[in-house]
Structure 1
């Protein structure tokens, strides 16, 4: 369906000081450890600021990592309202075929509410142990790991809890999460195409893997801010937003109050409590910030391991920009912000054109991994460089598949094949080519450096993928049928 744009408003009319948004943009662009991809700010129900750092664009889906969890929780809330799921029922009751394998009394006492709030009783992440316990059925593998304490008494950020919640929703509805959410949430909100990674059992992961636009993040946040009502229509059961966003389990783990981070203020039903409001969040800076006191939502996508730093910049610069009333006489400031947001861009990788005297040596050159293999990309076996009338191409060979990436003459060169990516770079000197490949449906950037003198190459991730590290996985999944 064609999504109706979010209602627009000028920053000043909605009580947002444009200088605060400028300060936020300045700060994230100056931070060496933050690569911003997008930001959207909604105030009083109006979109007052939005921008994408090229080559990222508004229309492309972006891997949300654990922000996926908040969509999973929403599906669970809808299923509960339809009488398909009971938060206070034992998890094992939804998987009676596992009863003989799950004998630990704490595992059997675990409720749906406990897995929804990361309070299964385990004190650490169990994903790898659960996979090792059962390669074919992650829920069974998880339930076979005895909890360290009683369910509901201890917090651990634990992927199989959300996977189990997602598996329950998919079992009781008979549909993948995305299909179940489409008529109940996605279409009414005006959210277009999404895609969700599936596991070997065919289930959508639930705990990660959702690819959606920044606009979808903002719409989900606005729905929660409005207690589940969208354009006068109730989509979520009354009170669900408050229930999902309150602290169900303590996450401070003994940290003194004055030293608490935004991850130590309590966990709800797949939402985190924050120093201001609450949020859904995903690895590397995918945020849905819901700020009831400011009547605002902030959505971001990014690539950073310093997620607290990104939140700190929001609290330092954006939060003070929300004023109690309109700001008259700010037309020029609003226009300047709008113009800046329209021209946001990531700087391309540095590099000079091919050295003319060495171009014949470079065209057709083949390189092998330095040291015999590429860390993080074990199936990447070869790089080749070729030239034609349209410029230069870097071809990477992964597990026998050749992936050609055209190098931009200046700036980023975008293409959808072999993968949605943008490429920039060039020669550092006559013997070294360095190229950055930004995978546009993910937070990930790969730097490839080829050395002509020794015929080797290196490849390194700026932020390592948390799912399959292969290059061909660096896109939203496409399902057939």
Structure 2
């Protein structure tokens, strides 16, 4: 495809070029990108359970869909902070890390009209330069911020819905965190923070245990955010500690009452909790290795159910594709 401006003159955020870059790495190494990075990067760093969104041939997209824990992203930030060194091993050449994390092009705001100062500081090799240090910015609010001047790595995994939230997170780091870096430790503050962290959890759906009777409904999937096929029969059965939602012919998901029920119905971990809000059953089903959640509602009187994403995954709304392991989120693409 022709360039819209002379090569090297305008920064354009473009996924297709990163897809091509992933294929170039595979051609040079003779190995799939995930296998190559497992051997050369992730396993030496002690990072396990790495998942990639893939097409039907098994190729990883390369430009999105790498699923890592918060701790793993923090480890990657630490690797960059230390110039590619991990413990006693130089996993990435220091010269390359220094090259990759300095500006090579003047960046322009990917969301025209928004105030996003940390996306206007230049672009390195697949890395954004910031007002302080540099950062990686993933879909739905995943952040890896590295500030060498303060020997600092900040990582956020979240489920944000708008691009402006990315700048809000970075503003909070600069305005609230950096000013406190050099202050003396306070045992009272440390304990207050530890207590807050211990108490953090996803909010449970509010309501009662409701009627302890089986309920049957049919899915209305007219919304574009729907996660399962229209007309799917949903059977909600009470259990000793919650319910079991049976989506006929597709998948069964245990749902906790006042607690998160753990399961892996098709290989990937799911957490679900629900409650009766009056005459309507409401449950949240989290695919926890992603930023995505499905809200299930069942209305027995109408015989209708809805299963809709709070944020629709980039690779499409079919819930079953996101529950299976290994991931193959675009089987329609060769």
- Per the normalisation by structure 2, the TM-score is 0.87
Does 1:429 pair with 2:278? yes
Q: Which residue of 2 aligns with 1:443?
A: 291
Q: CA–CA distance in 2 between the matches of 1:347 and 1:155?
A: 40
Among 170, 181, 199, the alignment partner of 1:322 is 181
Q: CA–CA distance in 2 between the matches of 1:259 and 1:458?
A: 36
Compute the displacement of 1:181 (Å): 1.9
Which has the higher mean CA deviation after the structures are superposed, 202-211 or 232-241? 232-241
Compute the displacement of 1:396 (Å): 2.9
Does 1:169 pair with 2:18? no
Among 192, 200, 219, the alignment partner of 2:75 is 219
| SS of equivalent residue, structure 2 residue 158 | strand
Q: In structure 2, do the counterparts of structure 1 residues 349 and 193 end up closer, same or farther at CA, with 3 Å as the change threshold?
A: same
Compute the displacement of 1:241 (Å): 1.4
| SS of equivalent residue, structure 2 residue 157 | strand
Q: How do 1:349-388 residues align onto structure 2 when only pairs under 5 Å count?
A: 349-355=205-211, 359-360=212-213, 363-369=214-220, 373-377=222-226, 379-381=228-230, 382=232, 383-388=234-239
Q: In structure 2, do the counterparts of structure 1 residues 338 and 255 end up closer, same or farther at CA, with 3 Å as the change threshold?
A: closer
Instruction: Provide structure 2 residue ranges, at least 5 long, that are not aligned to the other structure.
Output: 328-334
Does 1:345 pair with 2:193? no
| SS of equivalent residue, structure 2 residue 301 | coil
Aligned Cα RMSD in Å? 2.6
Among 24, 34, 39, the alignment partner of 1:183 is 39
Return the structure number with greater relative CO, CA threshold 8 A, min gap 6: 1
Is the 8 Å Cα contact of residues 128 and 136 (structure 2) preserved in structure 1?
yes
Q: CA–CA distance in 1 between the matches of 2:111 and 2:272?
A: 44
| SS of equivalent residue, structure 1 residue 239 | helix
| SS of equivalent residue, structure 2 residue 43 | helix
Which has the higher mean CA deviation after the structures are superposed, 281-290 or 470-479? 470-479
Q: How do 1:291-310 residues align onto structure 2 when only pairs under 5 Å count?
A: 291-305=147-161, 306-310=165-169
- Per the normalisation by structure 1, the TM-score is 0.62
| SS of equivalent residue, structure 1 residue 394 | strand
Is the 8 Å Cα contact of residues 69 and 289 (structure 2) preserved in structure 1?
no
Q: CA–CA distance in 2 between the matches of 1:429 and 1:201?
A: 47
Among 247, 250, 263, the alignment partner of 1:396 is 247
| SS of equivalent residue, structure 1 residue 392 | strand
Among 83, 90, 96, the alignment partner of 1:240 is 96
Larger radius of gyration: 1
Q: How do 1:120-139 residues align onto structure 2 when only pairs under 5 Å count?
A: none
Q: C-alpha offsets along residues 353-375 of structure 1, whole Å, 9 cap, x if unaligned?
A: 114xxx44xx1422231xx6342
Q: CA–CA distance in 1 between the matches of 2:62 and 2:71?
A: 20
Is the 8 Å Cα contact of residues 108 and 120 (structure 2) preserved in structure 1?
yes
Q: In structure 2, do the counterparts of structure 1 residues 217 and 394 end up closer, same or farther at CA, with 3 Å as the change threshold?
A: same
Among 304, 309, 313, the alignment partner of 2:172 is 313
Is the 8 Å Cα contact of residues 102 and 123 (structure 2) preserved in structure 1?
yes
Q: In structure 2, do the counterparts of structure 1 residues 476 and 293 end up closer, same or farther at CA, with 3 Å as the change threshold?
A: farther
Q: Which residue of 2 aligns with 1:459?
A: 307
Instruction: Provide structure 1 residue ranges, at least 5 long, that are not aligned to the other structure.
Output: 1-144
Q: Size of the alignment, in residue pairs?
A: 321
Q: C-alpha offsets along residues 399-445 of structure 1, whole Å, 9 cap, x if unaligned?
A: xx422222211132222224521112211112x11111111111001
Is the 8 Å Cα contact of residues 152 and 249 (structure 1) preserved in structure 2?
yes
Q: CA–CA distance in 2 between the matches of 1:403 and 1:197?
A: 21
Is the 8 Å Cα contact of residues 195 and 476 (structure 1) preserved in structure 2?
no
Among 259, 263, 274, the alignment partner of 1:411 is 259
Q: In structure 2, do the counterparts of structure 1 residues 166 and 319 end up closer, same or farther at CA, with 3 Å as the change threshold?
A: same
Q: CA–CA distance in 2 between the matches of 1:262 and 1:309?
A: 10
Q: Which residue of 1 aligns with 2:332?
A: none
Compute the displacement of 1:207 (Å): 0.4
Is the 8 Å Cα contact of residues 281 and 297 (structure 2) preserved in structure 1?
yes
Compute the displacement of 1:390 (Å): 4.8
